[in-house]
Structure 1
Amino acid sequence: MTALQLIATCPMGLEAIVAREVRDLGYTDVQVENGKIRFKGDELAICRANLWLRTADRILIEMGRFEATTFEDLFEGTKALPWADWIPSDAEFPVEGRSHKSQLSSVPACQGIVKKAVVESLKQHYQTSWFEETGPRYVIEVALLNNLATLTIDTTGPSLHKRGYRKLVAEAPIKETMAAAMVLLSRWTPGRPLVDPFCGSGTIPIEAAMIGWNIAPGLRRKFSADHWDRIGADRWDEARDEAYDLVRDDQPLDISGYDIDPETIDIALAAAKSAGLAKEIRLSVAPVAKLNLENAGKYGCIITNPPYGERLGDDKEAEKVIRQLGRAMLWGSTWSVFAISPDKQFEHFFGRNADKKRKLFNGRIECNLYQYLGPLPPRS
């Protein structure tokens, strides 16, 4: 199999987590850059990365990188790349683009140049003058940064956060990739209780259960590269069979989610059922003021995305629930808390300073992951 240069894109702040996930898959030639992880792999790696990476957005094949300060540079550099190695004669191949701090600043113009160059390259290979573009989809991207052009093909399609279990969403949902990142950044393991007192659509409890049972997050969906001849159905079958074999559904889980809105809990229950985890997660209507950690076990984790004014438009209510969460923790001396919020006064409302803070972006909103670290369970 051919060694390919692959890129896993991700939100700013999650690069180290994605890099760890890539290494856990067995790929060691890993480079960390802003918003992306570069690694080497074969065609099977495309399948495995799409199926397994919980915190990445998409998996790209890097076709080439070169300096481009003129449209001629961009055209000739693009045309010289081996597009026919991937793109068949009947393929649909739209071009997307972005440019930052580069002389070629017109994105539509760059997209047009790249499209023309790819067409010319494929014309020479397939000895044809026209492409119907009715077959499998290969989305090409030209990204210009400091006059360096990077040409990629997207293997994923809809972003990796779209696992397939969430058909409906509650107000202000957190993305599945961010929820998974919060769980991976916490000290939670499947043997410990986990509570989300502001569970909304149930995303954090569901992602935690998938991690606890080692369920590949992409196992219930399809990808653009599912239909690509070069990868083939056999490799996808191999990767999916491996993922099914690695599921640990005999692992007991103690995961609960609460929300004050009955309709929101109905949405969360539907998502848990769609994910095949309805019997493993307790979801019910309850305000955070009623949270009782004394009866919830020891050495548990609260992992949550509490409401905040910028998100829901009610600063006073957001302050109130953070204070209530802080009071609930007075009865949970062995518990740890991991809460994401953009509120600079979160620690003041909560009642104490966080042991650690980590900058993350919930969508476009700059937040901190406030980490209050309780004791770890005693070793058995």
Structure 2
Amino acid sequence: MPKTLTLIATSAMGLESVVAKEVKQLGYEDVIVENGRVRYEAEVSAIPRSNLWLRTADRVKVLVGEFEAKTFDSLFEQTKALPWEQYIPEDGAIPVIGKSVKSTLYSVPDCQAIVKKAIVERMKNKHGLATRLEESGPMHRVEIAIHKDHAMLTLDTSGVGLHKRGYRLNQGEAPLKETMAAALVQLTNWKPDYPFLDPFCGSGTIPIEAAMIGQNIAPGFNREFASEAWDIIPYKLWEDALNEAEDLANYDQPLNISGSDLDHKLVDMAKANATEAGLGELIQWKQMNVRDLTFKQPNGYIVGNPPYGERLGDKDQVEQMYRDFGAIMKEHPSWSVYIITSNESFEKLYGKEASKRRKLFNGFIKTDYYQYFGKFE
């Protein structure tokens, strides 16, 4: 087992710099930002810590090897030459997934089959096995990703994607991923002692993520990861990472976080999800129309993912809501407003040009994150 590993934290397009900042905050310095991922060198203990703490990454993977491959023979031989036995035990289950973009080897099923065969051959040789591998042990999912003939082979340490925090019992029609919700909060300069509101809260993901950030609760604290069962990670490292997360959580931090929505069913969902997250008492929920918003304190923050009005019949209603929202916020210049939407007329409808815009992908939808900086009182 090498002393240090190359880890890859995958990311939604547009969030790479946010993920990189989180990796650095964990104390890992050797960080390289690439399209859709962040790579960094770290010891094995970084696997538990990264999975527990990265709020905006999709997965954490171990890079096993990378090389150029234009033929199936080359893919087979170079995959076989990698030290798989250092990562995977004799009985490890080895499913292989794959993707290929702009590459000579474009058949993903064929690439997967060749990679699987090469790993099995290597493992059988190293373990002196004449028969097939048992694969009855812990899951070690391999990914072969080929882009412009550059092949990258990784092992997935996370299992279920990191956006699955374990608290979302129910969700609305177009739910925002927890990782994206956390990113929207982290792209503001909100601090836990300021008011925070999501007036389009849906099933509550943005306020829940804000509360976890506000109290410094590790997002992966209440879930499991595939690599917990791996031989290469002593269980003490998981225990140490969990103890660190418990010690760093600030459960005494008072918060003023609220969420509201026009749909009372969604508000009920949000309440249930917050309770499941252990934050039931910390967030106030209310069923209300955005035009009825009232503000008791200055210097607050609104972060929201309102309906985009993309469905026929919704457009007029949504655009009127943007107008109502803009008219209200005009009366509260000390509040900062951060809105993600695919509606390209948002600034015009809201009645004000954003202080800053950032392009983000909400799933496969191209959106803008409109940022209005408040004038603090």
2:22 corresponds to 1:21:
yes
Cα displacement (A) at 1:313: 6.1
Aligned AA (1:55): T
CA distance in 2, matches of 1:42, 1:68: 29
Aligned residue for 1:309? 309
Q: Secondary structure at the match of 2:120?
A: helix
Aligned residue for 1:60? 61
Provide closer, same or farther for how the CA distance between residues 324 and 242 of structure 1 changes in structure 2, counting only shifts above 3 A.
same
- Give TM-score, length-normalised by structure 1: 0.97
Aligned AA (1:358): R
CA distance in 2, matches of 1:55, 1:7: 13
CA distance in 1, matches of 2:132, 2:59: 30
Contact 1:172/1:311, CA 8 A, preserved across alignment: no
Cα displacement (A) at 1:184: 0.4
Q: Secondary structure at the match of 1:326?
A: helix
For the aligned residues, what is the CA RMSD? Answer: 1.1
Aligned AA (2:359): K
Q: Secondary structure at the match of 1:323?
A: helix
Give CA deviations for 1:262-307 in whole Å, capped at 9, x if unaligned. Answer: 11111100100011111100011111011012x2x11100000011
Give CA deviations for 1:47-67 in whole Å, capped at 9, x if unaligned. Answer: 000000000000000000111
Aligned residue for 1:250? 252
2:150 corresponds to 1:148:
yes
State percent identity of aligned pairs.
52
CA distance in 1, matches of 2:309, 2:77: 51
Aligned residue for 1:184? 186
Give CA deviations for 1:306-358 in whole Å, capped at 9, x if unaligned. Answer: 11122686111211211111111022110000000000000011011101000
Aligned AA (2:299): Y
Please, which of 175, 193, 196 is the counterpart of residue 194 of structure 1? 196
CA distance in 2, matches of 1:83, 1:318: 53
Provide closer, same or farther for how the CA distance between residues 313 and 232 of structure 1 changes in structure 2, counting only shifts above 3 A.
farther
Aligned AA (2:369): L
Aligned residue for 1:263? 265
Aligned residue for 2:363? 363
Q: Secondary structure at the match of 2:135?
A: coil
Aligned residue for 1:121? 122
CA distance in 1, matches of 2:373, 2:169: 34
Aligned AA (1:28): E
The answer to which of 312-321 and 334-343 deviates more is 312-321
The answer to which of 123-132 and 38-47 deviates more is 123-132
- Give TM-score, length-normalised by structure 2: 0.98
CA distance in 1, matches of 2:313, 2:205: 21
Cα displacement (A) at 1:228: 0.6
Aligned residue for 1:10? 11
Provide closer, same or farther for how the CA distance between residues 73 and 130 of structure 1 changes in structure 2, counting only shifts above 3 A.
same
Provide closer, same or farther for how the CA distance between residues 27 and 311 of structure 1 changes in structure 2, counting only shifts above 3 A.
farther
CA distance in 1, matches of 2:312, 2:234: 45
Q: Secondary structure at the match of 2:310?
A: helix
Alignment map for 1:200-239 (pairs within 5 Å):
200-239=202-241
CA distance in 2, matches of 1:18, 1:249: 24
Residues paired across the two proteins, number:
375
Unaligned runs of 5+ in 1: none
Moved over 4 A (4+): none
2:301 corresponds to 1:331:
no
Aligned residue for 1:284? 286
CA distance in 2, matches of 1:313, 1:299: 36
CA distance in 1, matches of 2:81, 2:309: 51
